[in-house]
A and B are shown apart, each in its own frame.
Chain A
């Protein structure tokens, strides 16, 4: 009995275009909901989460000395063989890298170097805009790595930004916190 009623209901629905109507109300509702487009790069920019694995950076200790002890463990574990470390010994007899180069063109940003480091000297930071016209420019040396931005502190978000084409392709922003992008996602 109930199946007959169900089927009759379906037919009445079809005859009155109930399915079409619900489709049209849905698209009409979407029409006036806020778009989720992030206007990268000239208006807005995404701030990564702290877990984000971007460009590498080298850390310094409290005295400002480079933390890396040039053990070459990161170079060993790297699946892409893209780290090259040449050690030297300073006056106090501590090992440090004389040369520390990462070929980011080959790197797959797996983060294994960060995990392997015994001195907590290398990590993958928040920078993700370093495209280049030449793969040579993507080999980053020790001093550049020391100056790279560290881990992100904010938990994701969208901030106002501005495209600066003079200094290569850099998307600048001055805001530390943005709005939560997920707030515009409709979940029905």
Chain B
């Protein structure tokens, strides 16, 4: 009975998580277009629903009813597999992400995470690294020059930015003496990590921008020079899957920034419910992502590589050494 209850709880949590992750890109696309519009003194979507609120639904219906085209020369199996490979890892990662401590529903204490892995951070980085396969396969299978160039760039970019990103969070692990994300947040209940780890956060955030393939590091889908990069040949629902994966990764990097450096659900000054604090911080980071996107131009490819290897990597290593000296 006990086991059945636990299993049912996990099933409900996972269903909720999947529903949230699938539905969240809808408001995010709306928000992104609104922010883009207002930063350029336009209005953004206005016609579908109040201030264009139903625009994502209309777009979704459009994408679902569009022809799902597979190029004649494409590798059909990989072409179909790639969007799923790009979508699955960001979803899997959220299994290890805590959204809060516990809430009590009907006298039962329910934890706000699916599982509290003791190597959660390692798990997150290992799984999110797999997302690149979707992008590489997508570009390769389409058999088009733009797509291949896009995925080649992604390949190099992901490899060179995952290393500083991994190094950047080591400082956090050293402070919390644990890799469990819940423990990391608990360790920040007095003072957020950003105070101890400004360099770590800087490196993590820049690498996170690159990881999420956002401007100024969105070379994989540079519209100006590559058409649309790795998803040039994708249309309809498969394209939508790539888009959902992109937004889930944006969400993931925001959530990780909050958990690792900004105290997770620990609030300051104003006593709000922990979950609300968490949501507010994540929303702020998502806004920063969009703000970056519509402010900065795109880096050149060699600059991207130079930043990754010559700036971020040394900085992240220096951060480990400084943390090690200062806190032992």
Chain B residues near A39 (CB, 8 Å)?
Answer: 43, 46
Chain A residues near B39 (CB, 8 Å)?
Answer: 27, 30-31
| Chain A CB within 8 A of B296 CB | yes
Would you list which residues of chain B between 265 and 312 have a CB under 8 Å from chain A?
291, 294-296
Contact of A27 with B41 in the complex, beta carbons under 8 Å: no
Would you list which residues of chain B between 31 and 78 have a CB under 8 Å from chain A?
35, 37-43, 46
Contact of B295 with A37 in the complex, beta carbons under 8 Å: no
| Chain B CB within 8 A of A24 CB | yes
| Chain B CB within 8 A of A36 CB | yes
Counting residue pairs across A and B whose Cβ atoms lie within 8 Å, the total is 36
Contact of B41 with A23 in the complex, beta carbons under 8 Å: no
Given contacts A23-B296, A24-B291, A24-B295, A31 and B38 within 8 Å (CB-CB): yes
Complex Cα gap A20–B250 (Å) = 21
| Chain B CB within 8 A of A133 CB | no
Chain A residues near B42 (CB, 8 Å)?
Answer: 35-37
In which size bucket is the chain B interface?
A: 10 to 19
Q: Chain B's nearest CB lies how many Å from the CB of A91?
A: 58
Contact of B296 with A186 in the complex, beta carbons under 8 Å: no
Q: Chain A's nearest CB lies how many Å from the CB of B282?
A: 20
Contact of A27 with B43 in the complex, beta carbons under 8 Å: no
Contact of B294 with A36 in the complex, beta carbons under 8 Å: no
Complex Cα gap A33–B295 (Å) = 16
| Chain B CB within 8 A of A182 CB | no
Contact of B294 with A27 in the complex, beta carbons under 8 Å: yes
Chain B residues near A31 (CB, 8 Å)?
Answer: 35, 38-39
Contact of B295 with A23 in the complex, beta carbons under 8 Å: yes
Contact of A35 with B295 in the complex, beta carbons under 8 Å: no
Name B41's contact: one of A24, A28, A36 (CB within 8 Å). Answer: A36
Contact of A37 with B43 in the complex, beta carbons under 8 Å: yes
Complex Cα gap A91–B296 (Å) = 76
Q: Chain B's nearest CB lies how many Å from the CB of A12?
A: 17
Given contacts A23-B296, A39-B46, A33 and B41 within 8 Å (CB-CB): yes
**Highest count of chain B CB atoms <10 Å: which of A20, A27, A33, A34:** A27
Which chain B residue has the least Cβ–Cβ distance from A27? B295
Q: Chain B's nearest CB lies how many Å from the CB of A164?
A: 17
Contact of A35 with B41 in the complex, beta carbons under 8 Å: yes
Complex Cα gap A186–B38 (Å) = 13
Complex Cα gap A34–B37 (Å) = 11
Between A and B, 22 residue pairs with Cβ closer than 8 Å are A23-B296, A24-B295, A26-B295, A27-B39, A27-B291, A27-B295, A30-B38, A30-B41, A32-B38, A33-B41, A34-B41, A35-B37, A35-B38, A35-B41, A35-B42, A35-B43, A36-B42, A37-B41, A37-B43, A37-B46, A39-B43, A39-B46
Q: Which A residues fall within an 8 A CB radius of B?
A: 20, 23-24, 26-28, 30-37, 39, 184, 186
Q: Which B residues fall within an 8 A CB radius of A?
A: 35, 37-43, 46, 291, 294-296
> Top 5 nearest A-B pairs by Cβ distance?
A27-B295, A37-B43, A35-B43, A27-B39, A31-B38
